[in-house]
């Protein structure tokens, strides 16, 4: 495999760097550098999305006829690598990375014409309504009911762990339109306006104190049948298509590599000139080297998945491998960083970092000052936030079952 860049690739990389130098403001870079969540706060993400939209680079994986870039695998990987190196804040994937590809693959012409341009411009901010109490990893057991009422479905139920539902104006949901002997049947994929009467959002606070996730309650919410994606009762196939993009539609290794380099710098700064910490520094460096080798291995899988996507194919069961290894590697990096930061990691100071949402019950000190070095301030919050990584988008235990069946043939 030839992993060297061609002259055209290098020109593209230089174009991306020039764009980032000109358009990625110091404030946006600061958010990327100090981010403790998977997602940036909505207003920050929308500010960066509008900049990318003006350039035409907001949806690298979308076909050009729908407003995307239609880039090659190499271009998309270079773009992701340069974004990570420049500390660009991430965009919310709910619309651009999940619902958008589903509409491109399964939506009606009217749905594509209406929703896709609004996703690109950032007119709509989406959230995902999948998990329910008792129906998380066992998603087919979901109970949220959608009763047929002429031209509408009347929805009643409870979704939870819904990221940024308090900021979203649209949600894509799985609802039960009939009860069948096989639970995967009778499920429908539905787009719901969050401003509809009967929608109630209540916060869930994370371990790090942030308000990112939510409960969403639906009480007799009327939704036009025109908002059904695919066929009524056949939403499970649409959902599986989406979950492949959720788990494997992008690349995580460029960001993991940047984080690994920052942790290596942290280890050096914390132990330099300290002979008494030589053994600890060696142990942490060895752990980081082991993680870095696994990141390199994951990169090869991600490049294969991107090649499949570029050929017009869905990611396939390998996306479960990518999700499992990627989230566990991310958690491993937070563990090494926590050990490297030492006592500085114990200081709770969310006012000095960029969280994915507000921290409702924290009052910052009057002087607004921070304790400890810059590189240690995000460590504890990132560690706590990343505990969810092996659960969201389908728990890693479920992903291993998919890998065993779909890849290993067990």
Query: Is there a contact between 42 and 387 (Cβ–Cβ < 8 Å)?
Result: no
Question: How buried is 410 (Cβ within 10 angstroms: 0-12 exposed, 13-18 middle, 19+ buried)?
Answer: exposed
| Residue carrying the six token digits 């090494």 | 336
The verdict on whether 246 is a catalytic residue reads: yes
Task: Measure the CA–CA gap between 228 and 107, rounded to whole angstroms.
Answer: 9
Task: Measure the CA–CA gap between 339 and 405, rounded to whole angstroms.
Answer: 37
Name the catalytic one among 82, 246, 299, 302: 246
Question: How buried is 408 (Cβ within 10 angstroms: 0-12 exposed, 13-18 middle, 19+ buried)?
Answer: exposed
Query: Is there a contact between 196 and 221 (Cβ–Cβ < 8 Å)?
Result: yes
Residue count (the chain) = 410
Residues whose CB is less than 8 angstroms from the CB of residue 74 and which lie 6 or more positions away in sequence, other chains included = 5, 6, 9
Task: Measure the CA–CA gap between 386 and 36, rounded to whole angstroms.
Answer: 9
Task: Measure the CA–CA gap between 238 and 379, rounded to whole angstroms.
Answer: 37
Buried b / exposed e along 368-384 (16+ C-beta atoms within 10 A):
eebebeebbbbbbbbbb
R_g (Cα) of the chain, nearest Å: 22
State the catalytic residues: 246
């Amino acid at each position: 495999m030839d992993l060297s860049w061609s002259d055209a690739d290098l020109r593209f990389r230089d174009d991306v760097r020039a764009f980032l130098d000109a358009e990625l403001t110091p404030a946006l870079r600061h958010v990327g550098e100090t981010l403790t969540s998977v997602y940036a706060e909505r207003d920050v993400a929308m500010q960066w999305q509008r900049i990318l939209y003006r350039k035409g680079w907001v949806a690298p994986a979308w076909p050009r006829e729908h407003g995307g870039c239609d880039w090659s695998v190499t271009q998309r990987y270079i773009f992701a690598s340069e974004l990570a190196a420049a500390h660009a804040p991430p965009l919310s994937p709910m619309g651009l990375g999940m619902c958008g590809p589903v509409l491109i693959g399964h939506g009606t012409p009217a749905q594509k014409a209406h929703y896709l341009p609004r996703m690109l411009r950032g007119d709509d901010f989406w959230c995902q309504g999948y998990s329910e109490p008792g129906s998380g990893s066992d998603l087919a057991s979901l109970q949220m009911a959608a009763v047929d009422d002429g031209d509408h479905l009347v929805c009643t139920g409870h979704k939870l762990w819904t990221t940024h539902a308090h900021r979203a104006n649209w949600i894509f949901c799985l609802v039960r339109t009939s009860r069948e002997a096989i639970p995967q049947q009778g499920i429908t994929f539905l787009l719901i306006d969050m401003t509809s009467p009967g929608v109630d959002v209540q916060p869930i606070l994370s371990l790090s104190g942030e308000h990112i996730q939510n409960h969403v309650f639906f009480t007799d919410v009327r939704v036009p049948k025109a908002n059904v994606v695919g066929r009524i009762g056949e939403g499970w196939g649409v959902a599986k298509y989406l979950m492949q993009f959720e788990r494997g539609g992008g690349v995580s290794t460029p960001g993991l590599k940047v984080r690994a380099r920052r942790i290596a710098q942290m280890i050096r700064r914390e132990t330099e000139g300290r002979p008494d910490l030589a053994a600890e520094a060696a142990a942490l460096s060895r752990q980081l080297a082991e993680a870095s080798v696994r990141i390199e291995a994951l990169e090869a899988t991600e490049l294969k998945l991107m090649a499949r996507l570029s050929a017009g194919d869905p990611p396939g069961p390998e996306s479960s491998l990518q999700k499992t290894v990627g989230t566990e590697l991310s958690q491993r990096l937070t563990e090494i960083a926590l050990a490297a930061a030492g006592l500085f990691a114990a200081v709770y100071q969310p006012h000095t970092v960029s969280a994915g949402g507000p921290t409702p019950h924290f009052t910052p000190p009057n002087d607004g000052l921070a304790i400890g070095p810059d590189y240690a301030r995000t460590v504890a919050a990132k560690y706590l936030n990343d505990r969810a990584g092996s659960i969201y988008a389908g728990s890693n235990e479920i992903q291993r079952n998919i890998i065993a069946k779909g890849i290993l043939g067990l």
